[in-house]
Homo-oligomer: A and B are copies of this chain.
């Protein structure tokens, strides 16, 4: 195995990249100019020097070590509401809408439907502890579960509700989930009952 294969193998671990495309990346880099390659390598190397993870919501952002992200650090942030989402990309989507004034929390993944050991990559313990602390000290009143409406997302919603109920039996914190309804592109003819029901209830 030569260095071309070696680099291709590293790229093949990128999300959504197969063997074929990872080789294309290598050929692309071979044909690219020296400056681009060195700039890419340098930024990969120094990535974690500039990007930190918010200790409050776990999002990655550029900032000083141990600092909080712009949402969590905002003095005007609504401390009553916490929106639990899966990942960084969701954080950006929600932030862009400027519609949610509370803090977010990155759960770190979805809970697989079949697997046994679910605690590996997700932050259920951190979430439970944050909810307990903030309900006591910061006036947290509501946790909104904001997972995708896929089978795994629905399963994660249910899992979080169960774990929270187990960990804190008579919690005063209200748990809600994002509302259902027609989303862009939805056709009435192909809608499931749950979607139509919510769409009828939430009409306005």
Question: Which positions in A face B, CB cutoff 8 Å?
Answer: 2-4, 6-7, 10, 13-16, 20-21, 23-30, 34, 36-48, 50-51, 53, 60-62, 83, 85-90, 92-94, 96-97, 99-100, 144, 146-150, 153, 176-204
Contacts of A188 in B (CB 8 A): 85-86, 90, 93-94, 146-148
Complex CA–CA separation, A193 to B95 (angstroms)? 10
Q: A2-B62, A40-B10 are in contact. Are A90 and B185 (CB under 8 A)?
A: no
Residue contact B187 to A150, C-beta cutoff 8 Å: yes
Contacts of A193 in B (CB 8 A): 96-97, 99
Given contacts A30-B51, A183-B183, 13 further A-B contacts (CB under 8 A): A2-B61, A4-B60, A26-B47, A37-B47, A37-B48, A148-B187, A150-B187, A153-B187, A177-B203, A178-B202, A179-B181, A179-B201, A184-B195
The distance in angstroms between the C-alpha atoms of A99 and B187, with both chains bound, is 17
Q: Give, as a whole number of angstroms, the nearest-CB distance from A101 to chain B.
A: 10
Residues of chain B within 8 A of A60, CB atoms compared: 4, 27, 30
Distance in angstroms between the alpha carbons of A15 and B29 in the assembled complex: 10
Docked complex Cα distance between A188 and B147 (Å): 7
Give complex CA distance A186, B143 in Å: 20
A176 to B202, CA, bound (A): 10
**Shortest beta-carbon distance from A46 to chain B in Å:** 7
CA distance A13 to B53 in the complex (A): 26
Contacts of A2 in B (CB 8 A): 50-51, 61-62
Query: Shortest distance in angstroms between A173's beta carbon and chain B's nearest beta carbon?
Result: 14
Pair B21/A97 contact, Cβ less than 8 Å: no
* Closest Cβ neighbor of A10 among chain B residues: B40
A195–B146 alpha-carbon span in the complex (Å) = 12
Q: B182 near A204 (CB under 8 angstroms)?
A: no
Contacting residues, chain B, for A61 (C-beta < 8 A) = 2, 4
Q: Is the CB of B37 within 8 A of A44?
A: yes
Q: Kindly report which residue of chain B lies nearest to residue A44, judged by CB atoms.
A: B41
